[in-house]
Chain A
Amino acid sequence: MATVAKEWREIPARYNLEGSECGNCNRKYFPKRSMCPFCRRNGFGKMHPYQVSRKGKVFTFSVIHEAPDCNRSLKPYAVAMVRTDDGLLISGQLVDVDLLKIEIGMRVRSVLRKLDEDGASGVIHYGFKFVPDL
């Protein structure tokens, strides 16, 4: 049950890339922070939700051949660091893509996919992955 509650708290980030922005220096963060490490006490109480762009470019990537159980039916698969159009760096799985055609700089966007499920009777965990942008 601990997992259910933890993931429930993360729904805005997992579904819609909700991060945070410091109201003092306007720096943006994903995942969200409750304190700006640059402004420290000056930013205290000024952090507010920020909607990160769902589009961006592949910054770097790697192809995974030894997968955890949740991804055993998807291997080999790619994981990418994506520079979003508003400048954040986010890592996630890159799917629906020919692994030999992934290039640094290729346009991608985030979509909702199943990340894992707690067996046949447990909860299904949804979250963002990246796909090539049409």
Chain B
Amino acid sequence: MDVGIVSYGAYVPRYRIKPEEIGRVWGADGKGMGKGLKIDQKSVPSPDEDVITISSEAARYMMQRVPDVDPKEIGAVYVGSESHPYAVKPSSGVLAEVIQATPSLTAADLEFACKAGTAGMQMCMGLVGSGMVKYGVAVGADTSQGAPGDALEYSASAGGAAYLIGSEKVIARINKTLSFTTDTPDFWRREGQPYPSHGGRFTGDPAYFKHIISASKMMLEDRNTKPEDYDYAIFHQPNGKFPEKVAKMLGFTPEQIQYGLLTPSIGNTYSGAVPLGLANVLDKSKPGDRIFVTSYGSGAGSDAFDITVTDEMKDYKRENAPTLEKVLENPVFLDYALYAKFKGTIIMPE
């Protein structure tokens, strides 16, 4: 049985802030910071947006593209994020209600730093592949946090993408998925804390690079493929620099990763990052295209996917929802004062 992506949708809030504006406030070289991180601007959620609204928008786009799919046939909904609006009360339940899939389904919120979205895709694959559900929905979305003045503030942004996983009319077959997971304390946020902490340079070699390279090599070995066998590759992108470096280390070219690398224009959308990169690639792909995907979540783990776009893509109603490129058009830039208000960091009277 072929299991894979039946539909997808992507959404990013329209507001942006530039690194130089953040640096101006904290007396830092923001432009230099942006250049170092390869981030020109990052997305900012409106005060009335959060992971639930972002997931809803992405999932509605996903459903618009498959008008023949009855939402009541969705048997599982998973929302992966590290910024769920509630500590206790599922984002996934709200999303299931929004796409009118309730009540006969299972739902849960997932958290694995930046890879909970791809973990949700794997869970849906298992449920679909075993015949337990007909369709599963996996969303990766975040309104990520970065402490004011911290290096993370220059990258932490907002956005998400939703995937309908099934075994009928699959537009992108997932040939294989595998993971590489360890206990690596490179980045964390304790219960009740508003901002995450990180291990600085420790987030690089023993964390991001080790896990992505290990999972990717395991996949290439398992599939008996080489980087040149793929048309596109998407790697987790906490900044613009790391995915370029990891691609080079693995032998992928800048052309292969260009469409899946969105961080320079929207920042690091955490759980949304790889799902959004994959959405942008699917927006441009054609039957026969082969896609290599490796996500990364601090803590730490990587999920790798080997994907082939099928002939079903020809009949897929991609035009029923805007492409990610269209969603990203006409951004509105904020100064830091408005950004602080949007992020809710200004203490207001009760």
- A: residues with CB less than 8 A from B are 11, 15-16, 72-74, 95-96, 111-115, 119, 124, 126, 129, 134
Contacts and interface: CB of A to CB of B under 8 A. Distances in A.
What's the dominant secondary structure at chain A's contact region? mixed
A68 to B, nearest CB: 14
B322 A126 contact: no
Interface residues of B, number: 25
A126 B46 contact: no
A115 B46 CA distance: 12
Nearest to A16: B100
Interface in B47-71: 47-50, 52-53, 56-57, 60
Nearest to B89: A123
Contacts of B49: 113-114
Interface in B24-57: 46-50, 52-53, 56-57
A119 B85 CA distance: 13
Interface string B313-350: 00000000010001100000000000001101000101
B322 A74 contact: no
Contact of A126 (B53, B60, B342, B348): B53
B86 A114 contact: no
B48 A95 contact: yes
A72 B48 CA distance: 11
Contacts of A113: 46, 48-49, 53
B12 to A, nearest CB: 12
29 contacts: A11-B97, A15-B97, A15-B98, A16-B98, A16-B100, A72-B348, A73-B47, A73-B344, A73-B348, A74-B48, A96-B14, A111-B60, A112-B52, A112-B56, A112-B57, A112-B98, A113-B48, A113-B49, A114-B47, A114-B48, A114-B49, A114-B50, A119-B350, A124-B52, A124-B86, A126-B53, A126-B94, A134-B326, A134-B327
B52 A74 contact: no
Given A15-B97, A15-B98, A72-B348, A111 B86 contact: no
Interface in B89-129: 94, 97-98, 100
A111 B94 CA distance: 14
A83 B60 CA distance: 21
A130 to B, nearest CB: 12
B201 to A, nearest CB: 35
Interface string B183-205: 00000000000000000000000
Contacts of B344: 73
B188 to A, nearest CB: 23
Given A73-B47, A96-B14, A113-B49, 17 more contacts: A11-B97, A15-B97, A15-B98, A16-B100, A72-B348, A73-B344, A74-B46, A96-B46, A111-B60, A112-B52, A112-B53, A112-B56, A112-B57, A114-B48, A114-B53, A124-B50, A124-B86
Given A11-B97, A111-B57, A134 B50 contact: no
Contacts of A119: 350
Given A16-B98, A126-B94, A134-B326, A111 B14 contact: no
A14 to B, nearest CB: 10
Contacts of A126: 52-53, 94
A110 B157 CA distance: 24
A96 B53 CA distance: 14
A126 B98 CA distance: 10
A23 to B, nearest CB: 21
Contacts of B56: 111-112
Contacts of B86: 124
B53 A111 contact: yes
B177 to A, nearest CB: 30
